[in-house]
Amino acid sequence: MRIGIDIGGTKTDAVAIDDGGVIVDRLRLATGFGAAEVVNTAVAAVTQLLALPGVAGTASDDSTSSIASIGIGIPGTVDSATGHVSHAVNLGLDELDLGDALERRLGVRVRVENDVKAAALGAYSLLEHTPAHAAAHTMAYLNLGTGLAAGLVLGGELWRGSWGAAGEIGHIPIDPAGALCPCGQRGCLETVASGSAIARQWSTDDQRPAQSLFAAADAGDLYAVDVRQRFIEGIASAVRVLVLTVDVDVVVIGGGLSNLGTPLLDAVHGVLAGWALASPFIASLDLGRRVELLPEGFPAAAVGAALVGIDPATSPTPPHRLGDVCGCEASAGANSADSTSG
């Protein structure tokens, strides 16, 4: 059995996958703040998973001896070779050797990956068992959350790049006169196509500012229409960048803002269609056909974390039937998506 844990800023999702590649159970718990509590959260997730009926029924006992590997997806800068995590601000982490800390506590090999990259691997594992995408070998997972980033899977393998920066498209400047980005540059994609971009431009007491913005735009608020349009064009620009630079077969949109669902996807398709009408070259790329949303409820980052934990030398076959527990089918074009982090 293999365990995948997605440690988010407020919540942690965990899944257990059996040797046949089936999600046998999953859980969610609150994430602790600070290095010690993050470690405790991961340990608690493992302990509680082992006690769940789906896992207890497949394990020989309730100890970690039944666990082949554990993978962790976590925000921040991650050295996947060492399991070291840094700059995970929302978790109160500056520096932490998370992999080593968990291996000492659990006695099981632990691998650690950035949460967006883990989600990309999880999304691809679902995609490759979708008949409509049987021939797809490359995928970009576009994570729409507080920030904007992508994870790349090329030839079935997670692509990190030489310095781990592959997919950091949120920090591509598109407007020299635009808003200042937390990265220090000005006018980055993230400043127009992210939750923080919406919060900066759309002041509301609603706990879900993106939904509030879309509702106001639908009601005819001209300022809301303008902010929403800039947001949608930013997402479409991110899709265009991913296709023009990596030429992926599919761009899967996930993250917290993907729960805007069909209105979001339809609006992105509309912008891409407009660009295609103005440019035969863009039309030839068929951008709209390549974009879809992650199925609602699928724990992409946790599943991807479980896959990160697998040693290809001993387990060459990736998990399958990944929709069994989440209640979603491995089908294209679902209408909304689960967040990859809290």
Interatomic CA distance for residues 142 and 151, integer angstroms? 7
Average pLDDT over every residue of 124-140: 81
The per-residue pLDDT for range 176-195, each reduced to its tens digit, is 999 999 889 999 999 999 99
Q: How many CB atoms lie within 10 A of CB 304?
A: 33
Q: Quick check: 175 pLDDT over 80?
A: yes
316 pLDDT higher than 70: no
Domain 137-248+256-293 -> CATH class: alpha beta
- Of the pLDDT bands very low, low, confident and very high (cuts 50, 70, 90), residue 62 is low
pLDDT tens, position by position, 218-240 = 999 999 999 999 999 999 999 99
Where does residue 184 rank: exposed (0-12), middle (13-18), buried (19+ CB within 10 A)? Answer: exposed
The pLDDT value recorded for residue 19 is 80
Higher pLDDT: 135 or 312? It is 135
pLDDT at 243: 98
Residue 170 gets the label, from left (phi > 0), alpha (psi -120 to 50) or beta, of alpha
The confidence band for 118, taking pLDDT boundaries of 50, 70 and 90, is: very high
Whole-number pLDDT of residue 18: 86
How does pLDDT run across 24-38, given as a tens digit for each residue? 999 999 999 999 999
Range in 11-25, 48-62, 300-314 with the lowest mean pLDDT: 48-62
Domain with CATH 3.30.420.40 in the chain: 2-115, 137-248+256-293
- At 111, is the pLDDT very low, low, confident or very high (cuts 50, 70, 90)? very high
Residue 98 has pLDDT above 80, yes or no: yes
Percent of the chain past pLDDT 70, that is, above it, reads 88
User: In the chain, which ranges are continuous DSSP H helix?
Assistant: 35-51, 53-56, 98-106, 115-127, 195-201, 209-218, 222-246, 262-278, 280-285, 287-290, 300-308
pLDDT over 90 at 216, yes or no:
yes
- pLDDT computed for residue 57 by the predictor: 63
Reported confidence tier of residue 327, pLDDT bands at 50, 70, 90: very low
pLDDT band, very low/low/confident/very high, at 53 (cuts 50, 70, 90) = confident
Higher pLDDT among residues 265 and 66, named by residue = 265
Backbone angles phi, psi at 93, to 5 degrees: -110, 130
CATH 3.30.420.40 given to domain 2-115: yes
Average pLDDT over residues 11-23: 89
**Res. 329: pLDDT tops 80:** no
Q: Are strands 291-293 and 157-159 parallel, antiparallel or unpaired?
A: unpaired
The pLDDT of residue 136 is 80
Please tell me which residue, 322 or 146, carries the higher pLDDT value. 146
Q: What is the pLDDT of residue 319?
A: 45
